[in-house]
């Protein structure tokens, strides 16, 4: 059965819903995300995030979307750090509300974002860095078709600790739904 998962850019008037989701999932996401200052957990901080997402879309530097299940905001997925020229690459990041984990929502959202990246975004490659202990996120990437490329030592500072990350990627040639 296909889940009713949809993606669309967040609107400024949805900042309160995004803030609620961030606050609700703060402790759950802390072991997997870079440290966020307290200002990120304010309405102003979320409005700034959405405005930056909108600017990134306009400038072809970021493709960020709210993840919706039956019209309810349940997460966020973004293709960030878009590099054009010879690389045509982006990095993908995502989160789904803890209460919604394990139901395929993240997989469907990542699949839709990758589809967007290769088609509308005209990317050639999408990559992801995931801490080896984040089995749920690794499973999402593998189900979507990402391949393990190797390990990057002390790749990102997560929760104020430099963490090793497994590096995953997929290219347009590997994407079965690319046009």
Token duo for residue 115:
């589809």
Helix axes 15-24, 43-58, angle to 10 degrees: 120
Q: What is the pLDDT along the chain (179 residues), one digit of tens a residue?
A: 455 899 999 999 999 999 999 999 999 999 999 989 999 999 999 999 999 999 999 999 999 999 999 889 999 999 999 999 999 999 999 999 999 999 999 999 999 999 999 999 999 999 999 999 999 999 999 999 999 999 999 999 998 899 999 999 999 999 975 44
70 occurs within a structural domain:
yes
The model's pTM: 0.93
In a domain, 43, yes or no: yes
- Asked whether residue 159 is assigned to any structural domain, the reply reads yes
Owning domain of residue 133? 5-174
In a domain, 116, yes or no: yes
Q: Contact 123/88 with Cβ under 8 angstroms?
A: yes
Write the burial class of residue 48 (CB in 10 Å: 0-12 exposed, 13-18 middle, 19+ buried): middle
Query: Does residue 129 belong to any structural domain of this protein?
Result: yes
Residue 32 lies in a domain: yes
Strand duo 89-96 + 125-130: pairing? parallel
What CATH number does residue 20 fall under? 3.40.630.30
Q: How many domains does the chain have?
A: 1
Distance, C-alpha 31 to centroid of its chain: 16
Domain annotation covers residue 179:
no
Q: Quick check: is 16 in a domain?
A: yes
């Amino acid at each position: 059965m296909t889940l009713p998962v949809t993606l669309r850019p967040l609107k400024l008037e949805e900042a309160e819903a995004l803030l609620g989701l961030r606050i609700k999932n703060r402790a759950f996401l802390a072991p997997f995300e870079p440290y966020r200052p307290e200002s990120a957990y304010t309405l102003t901080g979320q409005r700034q995030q959405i405005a930056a997402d909108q600017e990134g879309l306009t400038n072809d530097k970021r493709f960020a979307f709210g993840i919706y299940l039956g019209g309810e905001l349940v997460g966020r997925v973004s293709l960030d750090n878009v590099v054009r020229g010879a690389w045509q690459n982006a990095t993908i990041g995502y989160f789904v509300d803890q209460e919604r984990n394990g139901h395929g929502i993240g997989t469907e959202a990542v699949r839709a974002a990758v589809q967007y990246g290769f088609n509308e975004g005209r990317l050639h490659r999408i990559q992801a860095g995931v801490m080896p202990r984040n089995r749920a996120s690794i499973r999402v990437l593998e189900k979507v078709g990402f391949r393990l490329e190797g390990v990057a030592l002390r790749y990102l500072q997560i929760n104020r600790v430099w963490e090793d990350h497994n590096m995953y990627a997929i290219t347009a040639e590997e994407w079965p739904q690319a046009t």
